[in-house]
């Protein structure tokens, strides 16, 4: 049976200072509610992992939760740059942020290797770029069968993976569909897994492009309706594009960012 | 070709890019101008172009240009949705992409791209989003089309950072002023076409290296009224679609 636990308890129990955590969701199903609870509980020195750091990571970085960022594309999709991320990298505010820069391909391969508990993933022809010079987790390896030189990327095994999904059943199995990014790989690569869901249902109906994550892989399933807003949950609510645009001016100014966070995240009590 | 409508240089660029999509070609599409060009291509020139997005949406038929690479519009209209690891392993590395459409912050004469930093890497003037999928798109697509406004700060003799190495196949760069393409032997980007009303001199002045022209520089076909109207209608419906809010933040 699903264990009744609230988001506050789940974050308190499973996310610790200094952990490496992956909040995944490729523009869809981004676990905002869980990220906000991490900010409220003032976790520090986190290694944040994510292919596409966007608003939720901008908030975690701006609120001083992150020490290190492992990523491949950090921006506000369809809008522009991330100003809290920029200020951390360009000016070291609110603290120094160590970057591990990847490409989508290398980070995806690192999760796949992590999920399989292999030491590294391989890619063909990772080109000779400045990226490769800046990251110690990408190297070269020779194919033992053909002698071909391949790129190797060290596996990623986050302490905690956090995802948002459409629903769970009463046993705690999780069903998600639509654009699924690297959620499955992040979940299987991690030591602990928190899933927030829109609702609990009696029985799963089949859906196109559906995926099920079994209950015994998951440390905590938390009901958090709207937990992906302002991103979207396919079949439940739309992406709040206007907010993504507003975020550009909110995050541009340090003071405005802090007061927005106080009013909209810190003073809010999680369910 | 009528020129009753005063089209903008940005419309010229988007329409020129849209003409590059081909029926039955698998086209890897990034956000922004590539996405708009893809929608326009489906409407006007290549209804059977197969659009692939790095979010995993494959065979999508978006009616409006997506604001992000994982818009529900792309998921709803896809033939199927792959995971992100599958996009990079089975599709790109598997050699299943014919043309990759990219943007760029900086590009050099060889077709290498910077999308990481302006200034010094350690203390950057501007930290940009970074690589995303671009390095593997350029490495594995059979050819690349880069869509970027042409000015000396973007067309540089030396990149501040090499994010994406040049495609081994042909690269075409479509700008608001003209078209550059890789020379078959030297591999350098040379000017092959100028848009109507733009001089070769103007394009050279907007390029941060001594730009070589092809033996014969063509004039790009001016957009027809039908092309301009279709693009404006697409932009209007895109705007309307993204402004609709069914819920509060």
Contact yes or no for A131 and B163 at CB 8 A: yes
Distance CA(A181)–CA(A187), nearest Å, equals: 12
Q: Where are the domains of chain A?
A: 7-102+157-227+238-262
Gap between the Cα atoms of A35 and A38, Å rounded: 5
Q: How far apart are CA B234 and CA A89, in angstroms?
A: 37
- Residue of higher predicted confidence among B150 and B122: B150
Q: CATH fold of B9-241, please?
A: Glutaconate Coenzyme A-transferase (3.40.1080)
B129 CB neighbours in chain A (<8 A) are 73-75, 81-82
Q: What integer pLDDT is reported at residue A126 of this predicted model?
A: 61
What mean pLDDT is predicted for residues A52-76? 97
Identify the CA nearest to B88 among candidates A15, A102, A198, A200.
A102
ipTM of this complex: 0.94
Whole-angstrom distance, CA of residue B169 vs CA of residue A111: 30
* pLDDT given at position B27: 98
Question: Is the pLDDT higher at B221 or at B71?
Answer: B221
Q: Does the domain formed by A7-102+157-227+238-262 have CATH 3.40.1080.10?
A: yes
Weakest-pLDDT range from A122-131, A157-166, B64-73: A122-131
CA-closest candidate to residue A223, choices A197, A246, A241, A186: A197
Active site residues of B: 54
Interface check for B95 against chain A (CB to CB < 8 A): the answer is no
Around Cβ A199, how many Cβ atoms within 10 Å? 11
Q: How far is CA B150 from CA A198, B108, B119, B191, B203, in A?
A: 46, 12, 19, 12, 8
Please say if the pLDDT value at position B241 is more than 90. no
pLDDT of residue B243: 67
Distance CA A213, CA B102 (A): 34
Q: Please judge whether B84 and A112 are an interchain contact, meaning their C-beta atoms are less than 8 angstroms apart.
A: no
The pLDDT of residue B249 is above 60 = no
Per-residue pLDDT tens for A23-47?
Answer: 999 999 999 999 999 999 999 999 9
Question: Residue A98: enclosing H or E segment and its boundaries?
Answer: strand A98-101
C-alpha of B246 from chain center: 31
Residues of chain B with Cβ-Cβ distance to A185 below 8 Å are: 83, 85
Cα distance between residue A22 and residue B188, in whole Å = 41
User: Tokens 């599709």 sit at which residue?
Assistant: B91
Dump pLDDT digits (tens) for A111-150: 999 999 999 999 987 667 888 888 899 999 999 999 999 9
CB contact under 8 A, B135 and A129: yes
Distance (Å, rounded) from C-alpha A52 to C-alpha B130? 10
In this model, does residue B130 exceed pLDDT 60? yes
Give yes or no for residue B246 having a pLDDT over 50: no
State which residue of chain B sits closest to A226, comparing Cα positions: B249
Residue A130 has its nearest CB partner, among B93, B125, B163, at B163
The pLDDT tens digits of the residues spanning A214-239 come to 999 999 999 999 999 999 999 999 99
Average pLDDT of A145-170? 96
Give the residue extent of every domain in chain B.
Answer: 9-241
Q: Among A65-79, B60-74, B149-163, which is the least confidently predicted range? A: B60-74
Half-sphere exposure at residue A175, Cβ-oriented, CA atoms within 13 angstroms: 18
pLDDT in tens, B88-119: 999 999 999 999 999 999 999 999 999 999 99
Residues of A in Cβ contact (< 8 Å) with B126: 81, 86, 90
- The three-class DSSP label of residue B105 is coil
Does the N-terminal peptide bond of residue B78 adopt cis geometry, omega within 30 degrees of 0?
A: no
pLDDT of B244 strictly over 70: no
- What gap in Å lies between CA A31 and CA B149, rounded to an integer? 35
The partner residues of B171 in beta bridges, in order of sequence, read B144
pLDDT of the residue at A64: 98
Q: Given pLDDT bands bounded at 50, 70 and 90, which one contains residue B69?
A: confident
The bridge status of strand A138-142 relative to strand A120-124 is unpaired
Q: Which two tokens stand for residue A166?
A: 């459409």
Share of chain A residues as helix, strand and coil, in percent rounded to the nearest 5: 30, 25, 40
Residue A22 above 90 pLDDT? yes
Taking CA atoms, A230 is separated from A175, A241, A242, in Å, by 21, 8, 9
Taking CB atoms and an 8 Å limit, are B162 and A52 in contact across chains? no
| Cα A186 to Cα A160, A230, B93, B188, B191, distances in angstroms | 9, 22, 21, 41, 45
Kindly tell me the burial class for residue A57, based on how many C-beta atoms sit within 10 Å of its own C-beta (0-12, 13-18, 19 or more): buried
For residues B167 and B143, the answer to whether their CB atoms sit within 8 Å is yes
Q: Which residues on B lie below 8 Å from A126 (Cβ)? A: 135, 139
Stretch A248-261: mean pLDDT: 97
Mean pLDDT (chain B) is 93
Closest by Cβ to A81, choosing from B125, B129, B246? B129
Considering only A101-105, B31-35, B158-162, which range has the smallest mean pLDDT?
B31-35
Radius of gyration over alpha carbons of chain B, in Å?
Answer: 18
Of the pLDDT bands very low, low, confident and very high (cuts 50, 70, 90), residue B32 is confident
Quote the CA–CA distance of B93 and B77 in Å, as a whole number: 24
pLDDT of A2 above 80: no
| Residue with tokens 């769970």, as numbered in its chain | A168
Which residues are registered as beta bridge partners of A22?
Answer: A49, A161
Confidence (pLDDT) at A270: 60
B31 inside 8 A of chain A by CB: yes
Task: State how far the Cα of A189 lies from the Cα of A114, in Å rounded to an integer.
Answer: 5
Q: What is the pLDDT of residue A129?
A: 84
The pLDDT of residue A133: 86
pLDDT band at residue B245 using 50, 70 and 90 as cut-offs:
very low
Contact B81, B70 (CB under 8 A): no
Predicted confidence at residue A3, as pLDDT, reads 72
Instruction: Check residue B247 and give its pLDDT.
Output: 31
| Nearest neighbour of B68 by CB, restricted to A74, A77, A182 | A77
Task: Give the pLDDT confidence score for residue B240 in this predicted structure.
Answer: 87
């Amino acid at each position: 049976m699903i264990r009744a636990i609230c988001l506050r308890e789940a974050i308190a129990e499973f996310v610790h200072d200094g952990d490496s955590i992956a909040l995944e969701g490729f523009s869809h199903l981004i676990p905002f509610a869980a990220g906000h609870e991490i900010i409220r509980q003032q976790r520090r020195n986190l290694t944040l992992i994510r292919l596409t750091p966007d608003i939720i990571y901008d908030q975690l970085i701006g609120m001083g939760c992150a020490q290190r960022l492992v990523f491949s594309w950090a921006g506000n999709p369809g809008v522009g740059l991330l100003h809290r991320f920029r200020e951390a990298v360009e000016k070291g505010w609110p603290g120094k942020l160590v970057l591990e820069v990847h490409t989508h391909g290398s980070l995806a391969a690192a999760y796949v290797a992590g999920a399989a508990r292999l030491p590294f993933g391989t890619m063909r022809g990772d080109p000779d770029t400045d990226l490769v010079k800046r990251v110690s987790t990408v190297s070269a390896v020779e194919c033992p069968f053909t002698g071909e030189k391949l790129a190797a990327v060290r596996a990623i095994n986050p302490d905690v993976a956090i995802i948002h999904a459409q629903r769970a059943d009463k046993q705690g199995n999780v069903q998600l569909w639509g654009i699924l990014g690297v959620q499955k790989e992040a979940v299987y690569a991690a030591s602990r897994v928190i899933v927030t869901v829109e609702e609990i249902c009696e029985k799963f109906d089949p859906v196109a492009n559906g995926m099920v994550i079994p209950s015994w892989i998951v440390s905590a399933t938390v009901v958090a309706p709207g937990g992906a807003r302002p991103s979207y949950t396919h079949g439940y609510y739309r992406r709040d594009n206007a907010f993504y645009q507003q975020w550009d001016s909110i995050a541009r100014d340090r003071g405005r960012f802090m007061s927005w966070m106080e009013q909209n995240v810190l003073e809010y009590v999680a369910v | 070709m009528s020129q009753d409508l005063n089209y903008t240089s940005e419309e010229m660029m988007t329409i020129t890019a849209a003409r590059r999509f081909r029926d039955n070609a698998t086209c890897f599409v990034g956000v922004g101008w590539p996405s708009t060009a893809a929608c326009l291509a489906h409407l006007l020139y290549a209804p059977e172009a197969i659009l692939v997005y790095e979010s995993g949406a494959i065979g999508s038929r978006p009616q409006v240009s997506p604001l992000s690479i994982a818009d529900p519009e792309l998921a709803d209209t896809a033939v199927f949705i792959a995971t992100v690891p599958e996009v990079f392993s089975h599709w790109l590395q598997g050699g299943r992409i014919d043309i990759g459409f990219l943007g760029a912050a900086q590009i050099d004469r060889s077709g290498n791209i910077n999308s990481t930093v302006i200034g010094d890497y350690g203390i950057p003037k501007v930290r940009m989003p970074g690589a995303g999928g671009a390095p593997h798109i350029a490495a594995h697509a059979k050819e690349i089309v880069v869509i970027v406004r042409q000015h000396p700060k973007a067309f540089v003799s030396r990149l501040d950072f090499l994010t994406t190495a040049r495609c081994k196949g042909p690269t075409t760069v479509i700008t608001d002023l003209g078209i550059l393409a890789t020379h078959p032997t030297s591999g350098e980007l040379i000017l092959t076409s100028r848009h109507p009303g733009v001089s070769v001199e103007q394009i050279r002045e907007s390029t941060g290296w001594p730009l070589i022209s092809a033996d014969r520089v063509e004039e790009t076909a001016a957009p027809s009224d039908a092309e301009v109207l279709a693009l404006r209608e697409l932009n209007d419906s895109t705007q309307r679609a993204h402004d609709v809010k069914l819920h509060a933040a």
